[in-house]
Amino acid sequence: MVKQKAFDWGAKSKDGWFAVDWTAVFAETVATSFLVIMACGAAVSNGAFDGATRLMVAFSFGMSILALAYATSHLSGGQVNPAVTFALWLAGTMSG
């Protein structure tokens, strides 16, 4: 009797090697870069002096995530977090 694994680690191609979707990798890299530029740039330029500037920084983070998730959802799932995408790929839930 052969014991079956619960799941395979990673999406394997026909020849048995791991398949990497480089479009998803590029989309996550660009999305994370834009998140740092837009949201962290707003935090650096506005600071946290009073309630209005804190609200503006929080709004810029939220709108950046919203726009980037919509822009990359068809390519990489729209997590805007390479660690989450890598973990999903390792678990085999994302096609490679």
| 71 vs 12, residue with greater confidence | 71
pLDDT of 2 strictly over 80:
no
pLDDT digits (tens, 9 = 90+) for 14-65: 665 566 677 877 888 899 999 999 988 988 988 878 888 899 999 999 999 9
Task: Give the Cα separation of 68 and 53 in Å (integer).
Answer: 22
Q: How many CA atoms lie within 13 A of 13 on its CB side?
A: 7
Assign 3-state DSSP to the chain and report helix, strand, coil percentages, each to 5.
Answer: 65, 0, 35
Q: What is the pTM of this model?
A: 0.69
**What pLDDT, on a 0 to 100 scale, did the predictor assign at position 13?**
59
Domain boundaries along the sequence of the chain: 22-91
Strand partners, 18: 12
Residues in the chain, overall count? 96
